Copies of this chain bind each other. A is one copy, B any other.
């Protein structure tokens, strides 16, 4: 491998971190005044407010504009922002033109510029955080950290891998070989990185930047122009990032059309048209399992990176700190109201109960009650609930919660806890919902075979722990799953779970409690999406996330023997 360090000190740290997998962040996670000047904090908020009700001009104020479907989950007010309604063919044509000159820029320069663009986006962290709050519904701390620094770190991680992979072959080599009795033939060979074409990046509504940045930056670093298609209800965060990237590209003498955005509406989605467009050379998709599987079927031989959805499980078998475990479980279930792809949905418990460190056993009934009680306690603490739970992104989620509550009655699930709103401390108008908790028995009820996006938890009672592990791991393997969680003090059982979830492809967290959210996934260290089950193949990040985003062209010619 070529020398990869020395391009940028931040990139060097990222390159070290992806190998050591030690903790690293290139960006500030806290939006506190301790770390930022007041003018920056207020300026970001003001910029967000100034965007409301206005056209958001990325390219030309002469374009047709379309109002997005953005409605703040905090205020219930439409954002009223109009975005350019681009002609698709013209957009792809501009992307192709931009690629031709970008391909001539040496990969090391492209990579360096990508790192600088990440810094530029970071400089707009407050503006983006407010945009995330009022589209995705994240609380401010999560919007600033999770959709800010954590997302930028995932982007930087992708740039580091892209650079590492682009450095796998030398640019040039000399090769000598004798054929038969002839003089040796000496050839000079050159290996050139060739981009693929426009990369279409679908962003999701609840966590647009975290999946968006890795795809956008991996593509751009590898030479491909990027077309961002945000979710119609969460455009602004991506629009700001696209604006910043375009400005940075132009300032550095590059074609801003290397990063473009296209918007659509729920009534007239453009996803299929874009996938079928011959200009789309690479697909990065985050979204629903239903459309995701259509995308996978229609990607043909184009590189296609997906994250759809999964059913994440917790198995509670035994614990040496029952109290801390309960807090950890309640917290992870409440975190952003379980609107994260890593949030658990099913809780598996042996019917015989949970063994504790003191030799006692907590019955399954008692565990259910205690879990509900911890959720109640969190929900009743308005400032804490506001910070942890944030808002419900989509009104559809509230309907889903109602549907499941009705269904529970009909199908005799035990309704352990109803979903009710909590009082949001930031805005009394906020759309909120605390977790619905349902009790199920696998032998009496249909198995859960799809993700229910939002704060719903099923506590599933099993005849024994082996049945719990079998169902939890098989569900992930068959229907998709990103994460799994286990509480067990029995090393043998832990080993069985490690084995089962490895084959199922759901990243396992064992016996974690305390200050770290269970489902926190750290850039440079935690792999996100395994590629081993239907939840997707877009692993953040290792070399497969880069593979196919560029290809090599080779030429060779004779040179005089040395």
Contact = CB atoms under 8 A, between A and B. Distances in A.
Contacts of A23: 175-177
A537 B187 CA distance: 25
- A196, A304, A505, most chain B CB atoms within 10 A: A505
Contact of A530 (B19, B532, B553): B553
A526 interface: yes
Given A183-B515, A511-B558, A512-B558, A553 B532 contact: yes
A537 B173 contact: no
A539 B551 contact: yes
Contacts of A178: 515
A530 B552 contact: yes
Contacts of A90: none
A508 B21 contact: no
A281 to B, nearest CB: 10
Interface string A234-275: 000000000000000000000000000000000000000000
A522 interface: yes
A113 B292 CA distance: 39
Interface string A503-538: 101011111101111001010011100111000010
A368 B190 CA distance: 31
A556 B175 contact: no
A498 interface: yes
Contact of A532 (B1, B551, B555, B558): B551
Interface string A172-193: 0111111110110101011110
Contacts of A520: 179
B554 A527 contact: yes
A531 B551 contact: yes
A516 B555 contact: no
Contacts of A507: 553-556
Contacts of A304: 301
Nearest to A104: B499
Given A182-B515, A189-B525, A516-B177, A498 B542 contact: no
Interface stretch (A163-171, A412-420, A423-431): A163-171
A175 B21 contact: yes
A198 B223 CA distance: 34
A548 B547 contact: yes
Interface in A258-303: 296-297, 300-301
Interface in A339-365: none
A503 B179 CA distance: 31
A51 interface: no
A501 interface: yes
Contact of A175 (B173, B510, B525): B525
A297 B299 CA distance: 9
B552 A194 contact: no
A542 B190 CA distance: 14
A300 B537 CA distance: 12
Given A169-B21, A515-B185, A502 B553 contact: yes
Nearest to A186: B23
A144 to B, nearest CB: 14
A233 to B, nearest CB: 27
- A19, A21, A191, A526, most chain B CB atoms within 10 A: A21
A557 interface: yes
Nearest to A173: B21
23 contacts: A1-B19, A20-B173, A21-B169, A22-B175, A23-B175, A23-B176, A168-B542, A179-B516, A180-B515, A185-B512, A194-B530, A297-B300, A498-B555, A501-B553, A507-B554, A508-B554, A508-B556, A512-B558, A530-B552, A532-B551, A539-B552, A543-B547, A547-B547
Interface of A: 1, 19-23, 165, 168-170, 173-180, 182-183, 185, 187, 189-192, 194, 196, 296-297, 300-301, 304, 306, 498, 501-503, 505, 507-512, 514-517, 520, 522, 525-527, 530-532, 537, 539, 542-544, 547-548, 551-558
Q: Which 8 pairs from chain A and chain B are nearest by CB?
A: A182-B515, A21-B173, A547-B547, A502-B553, A510-B557, A508-B555, A179-B515, A23-B177
